A and B are shown apart, each in its own frame.
Chain A
Amino acid sequence: DAGVTQSPTHLIKTRGQQVTLRCSPKSGHDTVSWYQQALGQGPQFIFQYYEEEERQRGNFPDRFSGHQFPNYSSELNVNALLLGDSALYLCASSLVPGQGYGYTFGSGTRLTVV
């Protein structure tokens, strides 16, 4: 049973560029959340998608946007990249939104902005 799959594993981008990260949720899960984890920090909630709509958003600027597809997979887009956007980006899926447990995380995409 495949867990959460994220691609690519690593990515290097130049400041000012745009990037798209992808996530396939665990089989049977329909809700996807994205987190940013800077080095030495805990993950920070970016946003959550359910039924192809952004359901909740953390304290991140509009440069961060997302999308959920009918097959529940999701994309995270970041525009006008800053050096401070360098981090591990984690995708987490769950069976229903708002469930207090049962989040399954992927191994993440490590983004380096130079």
Chain B
Amino acid sequence: QKEVEQDPGPLSVPEGAIVSLNCTYSNSAFQYFMWYRQYSRKGPELLMYTYSSGNKEDGRFTAQVDKSSKYISLFIRDSQPSDSATYLCAMKGESGGGADGLTFGKGTHLIIQP
């Protein structure tokens, strides 16, 4: 079992739909949870981060972390064709414990149809 599981897709939805992306993980030491967006031939770009459990909202994006279930989600409202990209979840433990590298999921390829 990989530490972070993420469905690679592709996930295709019509413009304006609500998109739900998620990851599961097995390492209970993870405390920081991030979502990155990666366009083709580009590096990952940080979208959202959450520390420990809870929800966080930023514009059209909402990140949720449920540590009891080891499950994180990213919701995109009013999806746009420009949201078409690969979405990567990433996580890490507390610093000082030799856990400063990010552990990524495989990424979900999202396609928003105009």
Is B truly associated with A?
yes
- A-side residues, CB < 8 A to B, are 4, 33, 35, 40-45, 47-48, 55-56, 58, 90, 92, 97-108
Q: Which of A33, A42, A48 contacts B106 (CB 8 A)?
A: A42
Inter-chain contacts of A105 with B (CB < 8 A): 36, 43-45
Pick from B14-22, B71-79, B91-99 the stretch touching chain A.
B91-99
Contact A43 B100 (CB under 8 A): no
Contact B101 A90 (CB under 8 A): no
Query: Can you report 8 residue pairs joining A to B where beta carbons are below 8 Å apart?
Result: A40-B8, A42-B88, A97-B100, A98-B100, A103-B46, A104-B46, A105-B44, A108-B43
In this assembly, does B60 line the interface, its C-beta being within 8 Å of a C-beta of chain A?
no
Chain B positions 31-80 with a Cβ under 8 Å from a chain A Cβ: 31-32, 34, 36, 41-46, 49, 51
Chain B contact residues: helix, strand, loop or mixed: loop
Q: Which of B44, B46, B96 contacts A90 (CB 8 A)?
A: B44
Contact A40 B106 (CB under 8 A): yes
- Which size class do B's interface residues fall under? 20 to 34
Write the nearest CB–CB distance from B5 to chain A, whole angstroms: 11
Contact A42 B105 (CB under 8 A): yes
Q: Which of A33, A41, A44, A107 contacts B41 (CB 8 A)?
A: A107
In this assembly, does B29 line the interface, its C-beta being within 8 Å of a C-beta of chain A?
no
In this assembly, does B25 line the interface, its C-beta being within 8 Å of a C-beta of chain A?
no
Q: Which of B44, B49, B51, B101 contacts A58 (CB 8 A)?
A: B101
Given A42-B88, A105-B44, 11 other A-B contacts at CB below 8 A? A42-B90, A42-B106, A43-B88, A43-B102, A45-B101, A55-B100, A92-B102, A100-B95, A101-B34, A104-B46, A107-B42
